[in-house]
Amino acid sequence: MARTLSRIAHEILERNPDARRLALVGVRSRGVPLARRLARLIGEVAGAEPAVGALDIALYRDDFTSLAAQPITKGTDIVFSLDGRTVVLVDDVLFTGRTVRAAIDQLIDFGRPARIELAVLVDRGHRELPIRADYVGRVLATSQQEAVQVLVQEEDGRDEVVLTRRARTKPPARPAPKLARRKRKAVSRRQRRTR
């Protein structure tokens, strides 16, 4: 993970040489520590760290009403102006693109950045919206039945990317053959009675 983040930091700096006009905004929760690490790495090379913020998109999601009656929010922390800056949104996993869409909606409410770019540690595909990352750590080919979880030292005590298979829900069982025959007989008796 350290090597991947170092590569992403160098790529960001190549496109944006003036770190003072740059802001890294992490999407809660794993995007925030990743944004802080990237800012430190950029600061080591450029001599100045970009501004770092945190974005809580809970109320901007298009599915928040189906997640819980009262969404749990952890708070947005952007204490600098976004106007005229290049803002790099940082997230752990890019999947359908809906999280990024919600994050962009919220960023626009805070100001008018010169440009918004996207950095993700893992791109797992299966996009539902036309969103593409500018900086990608790893591309993982996954199925819909798999889940990608990023663990970071700051939140989980270790750095790791975990790929797991989701448990499948079983389709409803078909009626037993004897029961099906009984139902057919009962229906035919009813039909005879109604004639």
- Domain limits, the chain: 2-194
pLDDT for residue 182: 55
Tell how many helices (H) and how many strands (E) occur in the chain.
6, 7
pLDDT for residue 65: 47
pLDDT for residue 188: 56
Name residues whose C-beta falls within 8 Å of residue 60's C-beta, 6 or more positions apart in sequence: 102, 103, 105, 106
The ranges of the chain with pLDDT < 50 are 64-67
Whether domain 2-194 has CATH 3.40.50.2020 = yes
Q: How many residues does the chain have?
A: 195
pLDDT for residue 110: 92
Whole-structure pTM value = 0.80
Note the pLDDT tens digit of each residue in 4-17: 999 999 999 999 99
Note the pLDDT tens digit of each residue in 45-70: 999 999 999 999 988 766 544 445 55
| Distances 190 to 2, 33, 125, 193, 194 between C-alpha atoms, Å | 73, 69, 55, 5, 6
